[in-house]
Amino acid sequence: MLAARSRNMARASADLAGGDDLAGRVLAGDKRAIAQAITKVESGELPGRDLLAKLYPFTGQAHVIGVTGSPGTGKSTLVAAMAQVYRSRGAKVGIVAVDPTSPFSGGAILGDRIRMRDLAGDPGVFIRSMASRGHLGGVAEATSDVVRVLDAAGCGVIIVETVGVGQSEVDIVRMAHTVVVVEAPGLGDDVQALKAGLMEVADILVVNKSDLPGADALVSTLQAATALAAGQARYAGHHQLEAAATTQPMDGSPGRRAVAEDSAESWRIPVKEAAALHRQGIEELVAAIDAHRRYLQASDLWRRRERSRVESDLATFVRQALFRRLMERLAAGEWEDLIEAVVNRQLDPHTAAEQVVEQQFGASE
Amino acid sequence: MLAARSRNMARASADLAGGDDLAGRVLAGDKRAIAQAITKVESGELPGRDLLAKLYPFTGQAHVIGVTGSPGTGKSTLVAAMAQVYRSRGAKVGIVAVDPTSPFSGGAILGDRIRMRDLAGDPGVFIRSMASRGHLGGVAEATSDVVRVLDAAGCGVIIVETVGVGQSEVDIVRMAHTVVVVEAPGLGDDVQALKAGLMEVADILVVNKSDLPGADALVSTLQAATALAAGQARYAGHHQLEAAATTQPMDGSPGRRAVAEDSAESWRIPVKEAAALHRQGIEELVAAIDAHRRYLQASDLWRRRERSRVESDLATFVRQALFRRLMERLAAGEWEDLIEAVVNRQLDPHTAAEQVVEQQFGASE
């Protein structure tokens, strides 16, 4: 592969430079350098953006897998078990936990704390928690940048774990190539209700804790639901971001209308069973994820999902760059005066926004 | 009050116009008009923005109360009980449910479905669910606009219910004047872990289901935690958005650095007990919310929170307006070509964003 060759060249040049170049050390897979790079990138400042620019040509190789589900489904244990399967194949694995309840984020401790620690000590595994709130520009953008760093660092598989509640969190998982939605028997009604918004983004369903009572009934229910969906003629793009590739959003938001992925062969959402705590069903789950990757690549959907993700990121960065430009041009106190006018109800915020934009960049056409 | 007088005048002029003016009918509190207005506003299109401009001078009267907590804490029942207390005082109440698990959103049905229905039939109560995902521009902005419509419609109290997980959801509740965080005994560890991010935004803590075992222990734990916090010299602004009023964000995000609210008298977070299903403890909770409002108004924090919210909204609308302007100016196919260049790794997305902005609006200063 061309990218692999470029990566080797970059590693070589990093070696020549004495290894003190952060981008070079990231490309070489140095765990400390990766951690430093992520911290730099998360700040959203210029040095982070410059670093991403250097790393970007080496990205696009990783299979990004989103794993999501309600609290109590044991998805962190599942992620750890999946990572071990990928490691046994020799792949480097990145884990990004956007989930305050995850043990990866220092959340609730599950039964297999020791195995988690084994994972963290493995030089071929990089774990990053995005649990802390207040990322500048939002956690979705920050996650996207972190995935890019891990991709450049040679992680062939990047697992993004989200708690599966909340708009940003669903948006994040939606940007993965393959979305695994985790369910489990025996959860309360309130928790079960959380899953409503998740089914629509699933590429693969997995019933974890399959050794517990109620697992078979849950599997049957989910199989019936997916059979119903398969009865419809096509695998109409449930990944709403797909649409961004074909529509030009004029409203300042990433394009999100759902369109039928009409070039795609039908994908029937499989329902898998697993007992992650006992390492059961994990190989089968990973095989289903592999099948989904082959499906995406054969049907051109892989590239279309990349394109959607790029458009969404690009729109975000353009809005940030535009806002910075505007702020540079405003006279001292002008922004504060505008806020004051809106607080005092002399202007409404939409009109105020249009006015300041028109004043700096000219009238709308 | 001046605003009340203006509202009456607007109502009178709406009557003169035969009531076919949507803004006038909203100001008159017409429930169907409010529903229409919200739908218009949620679209994010020009007619919605024009409508908001008309309504805006009549806003700023409502006490916006955020209620948040993990699934299973019974917060929807609590919100319903709170609404009944406010109704008994004659206040008009708006309820905005940003929570797919809420019965207000057609989620899980709790024991008191009938009372919820009573609430929905009350002409002085307006309930809106924001559970459907995919609002253009994000659910936070859409919620902000919906709150403004309800405010203009004369709701003296607007309760925003969020599930308390997820970045957007915490941001939403943070924009309320008063944030009530709901806890309950007997929830699983996984669900309990969700609350970690919530404590920091609480103005008032309430232990719901206080009749269940474990409630007293939970109250003691929370009291100990708040006592610890009160031991610190000041009520340092846990509402991070407060900072937006004093900082000029240059990075394209709303200002979010926490600053000490040094002009504020100390507010000690009260820990209340309630059993919402049995309508116990609700009057006391509402009294605590009233006390918080008086505290905000006496200490100028009310105005500062308004100002922070305005700055955050303004920054969002400015970014949207700038992006629209840029898209208008691009030649046909230019945006698609840029995406293609990034997908092909000829350009990284940050550099691509800077390039297109510079080309249209000139170099950075």
pLDDT at B134: 46
CA B267 to chain centre: 21
Identify which has the larger pLDDT, B155 or A16: B155
Summarised one tens digit per residue, pLDDT across range B116-129 is 667 878 889 998 88
Rounded Cα distance between B92 and B109, Å, is 25
A314 contact B CB<8A:
yes
pLDDT at A344: 93
What pLDDT band is residue B17 in, cutting at 50, 70 and 90? very low
Residue A133 reports pLDDT greater than 90:
no
Selecting from B53, B136, B303 the residue whose C-beta is nearest the C-beta of A251 gives: B136
The residues in A 161-180 lying below 8 A from B, measured between CB atoms, are: 163, 165-170
What pLDDT band is residue A191 in, cutting at 50, 70 and 90? low
The residues in B 4-23 lying below 8 A from A, measured between CB atoms, are: none
Q: Which chain A residues are Cβ-neighbours of B319 within 8 angstroms? A: 252, 319-320, 322-323
Q: Do A253 and B136 touch (CB under 8 A)?
A: yes
For the full predicted model, state whether its pTM sits above 0.90.
no
How many CB atoms are closer than 10 A to CB A16? 10
What pLDDT band is residue B201 in, cutting at 50, 70 and 90? confident
What pLDDT band is residue A239 in, cutting at 50, 70 and 90? very low
A233 contact B CB<8A:
no
What pLDDT band is residue B158 in, cutting at 50, 70 and 90? very high
Task: Specify the DSSP class assigned to residue A330.
Answer: S
Contact B25, B33 (CB under 8 A): yes
Selecting from B49, B100, B327 the residue whose C-beta is nearest the C-beta of A194 gives: B100
Selecting from B194, B311, B353 the residue whose C-beta is nearest the C-beta of A314 gives: B353
Average pLDDT over residues B310-318: 90
B363 contact A CB<8A:
no
The residues in A 48-77 lying below 8 A from B, measured between CB atoms, are: 49, 52-53, 56-57, 59-60, 71-72
Contact B317, A349 (CB under 8 A): yes
Q: Three-class SS of residue A296?
A: helix
The first and second tokens of residue A365, run together, are 């056409």
B106 contact A CB<8A:
no
What pLDDT band is residue B5 in, cutting at 50, 70 and 90? low
Summarised one tens digit per residue, pLDDT across range B55-109 is 999 999 999 999 988 777 888 889 999 999 999 999 999 999 886 556 665 544 4
pLDDT at B208: 95
B302 contact A CB<8A:
no
Rounded to the nearest 10 degrees, the angle between the axes of helix A139-152 and helix A167-174 is 30
**What distance in Å separates residue A76's CA from the closest CA in chain B?**
11
pLDDT at B87: 95
User: What burial class does residue B184 get, using C-beta atoms within 10 Å of its C-beta: 0-12 exposed, 13-18 middle, 19+ buried?
Assistant: buried
Rounded to the nearest 10 degrees, the angle between the axes of helix A75-88 and helix A113-121 is 40
B240 contact A CB<8A:
yes
Beta strands in B194-329 (DSSP E): 204-207, 271-273
Cβ neighbours of residue A218 under 8 Å, at least 6 residues apart? A183, A184, A185, A207
Cβ neighbours of residue B224 under 8 Å, at least 6 residues apart? none
Measured between CA atoms, the residue of chain B closest to residue A54 is B348
Residue B15 reports pLDDT greater than 80:
no
Measured between CA atoms, the residue of chain B closest to residue A132 is B197
Beta strands in B185-327 (DSSP E): 204-207, 271-273
Summarised one tens digit per residue, pLDDT across range B289-309 is 999 999 999 988 899 888 988
Average pLDDT over residues A171-182: 85
Q: Which chain B residues are Cβ-neighbours of A325 within 8 angstroms? A: 357, 361, 364
Residue B131 reports pLDDT greater than 70:
no
Q: Do A72 and B188 touch (CB under 8 A)?
A: yes
**Best residue in A129, A190, A316 to probe B by mutation, most B CBs within 10 Å?**
A190
Instruction: Give the CA distances from residue B107 to residues A184, A190, A197, B98, B139, in Å, rounded to whole numbers and listed in that order.
Output: 19, 9, 11, 11, 18
Contact A177, A63 (CB under 8 A): yes
Task: Specify the DSSP class assigned to residue A265.
Answer: P
Identify which has the larger pLDDT, B6 or B217: B217
**What distance in Å separates residue A121's CA from the closest CA in chain B?**
25
B137 contact A CB<8A:
yes
**What distance in Å separates residue B351's CA from the closest CA in chain A?**
7
pLDDT at A209: 94
A284 contact B CB<8A:
no
A325 contact B CB<8A:
yes
pLDDT at A362: 81
Selecting from A167, A307, A321 the residue whose C-beta is nearest the C-beta of B343 gives: A307
B212 contact A CB<8A:
no
Q: What is the average pLDDT score of chain B?
A: 79
User: What burial class does residue B303 get, using C-beta atoms within 10 Å of its C-beta: 0-12 exposed, 13-18 middle, 19+ buried?
Assistant: middle
End-to-end CA distance of chain A: 46
B221 contact A CB<8A:
no
Residue B200 reports pLDDT greater than 80:
no
B328 contact A CB<8A:
yes
β-bridge pairing A204-207 and A271-273: parallel
Q: What is the average pLDDT score of chain A?
A: 79
Identify which has the larger pLDDT, B146 or B120: B146
Summarised one tens digit per residue, pLDDT across range A53-84 is 999 999 999 999 999 887 778 888 899 999 99
Residue B329 reports pLDDT greater than 80:
yes
What pLDDT band is residue B9 in, cutting at 50, 70 and 90? low
Nearest CA-CA partner of B190 in A196, A37, A111, A307: A111
Nearest CA-CA partner of B220 in B273, B276, B180, B179: B273
Most confidently modeled of A40-54, A115-129, B50-64? B50-64
Domains of chain A listed by start with CATH number: 1-57 (no CATH), 59-301 (3.40.50.300)
Q: Do B311 and A44 touch (CB under 8 A)?
A: no
A188 contact B CB<8A:
yes
The first and second tokens of residue B186, run together, are 């007997």
Buried b (16+ CB within 10 A) or exposed e, B338-349: bbebbbeeebbb
What number of CA atoms fall less than 13 Å from residue B272's CA on the CB side?
24
Average pLDDT over residues B120-147: 76
**What distance in Å separates residue A287's CA from the closest CA in chain B?**
28
What pLDDT band is residue A88 in, cutting at 50, 70 and 90? very high
Q: Do A356 and B318 touch (CB under 8 A)?
A: yes
Size of interface A-B (CB pairs under 8 A): 261
Selecting from B139, B250, B322 the residue whose C-beta is nearest the C-beta of A322 gives: B322
Nearest CA-CA partner of A43 in B250, B93, B62, B187: B250
Average pLDDT over residues B128-151: 75
Q: Do B319 and A315 touch (CB under 8 A)?
A: no
pLDDT at B245: 35
What pLDDT band is residue B45 in, cutting at 50, 70 and 90? confident
pLDDT at A208: 95
Question: Residue A206 pairs with which residues in a beta bridge?
Answer: A182, A272
Q: Three-class SS of residue A74?
A: coil
The residues in A 33-52 lying below 8 A from B, measured between CB atoms, are: 44-45, 49, 52
Buried b (16+ CB within 10 A) or exposed e, A68-92: bbbbbbbbbbbbbbbbbbbbeeebb
Q: Which chain A residues are Cβ-neighbours of B311 within 8 angstroms? A: 339
Q: Kindly report which listed range (A237-241, B27-31, B130-134, B253-257) carries the lowest average pLDDT score.
A: B253-257
Q: Kindly report which listed range (A211-225, A328-342, B127-141, B210-224) carries the lowest average pLDDT score.
A: B127-141
**What distance in Å separates residue A44's CA from the closest CA in chain B?**
8
**What distance in Å separates residue B93's CA from the closest CA in chain A?**
22
Residue B339 reports pLDDT greater than 90:
yes
Output the CA angle A160-B167-B205, nearest 5 degrees: 130
Q: Kindly report which listed range (A93-107, A227-241, B314-328, B348-362) carries the lowest average pLDDT score.
A: A227-241
Percentage of chain B with pLDDT > 70? 72
Average pLDDT over residues B207-225: 89
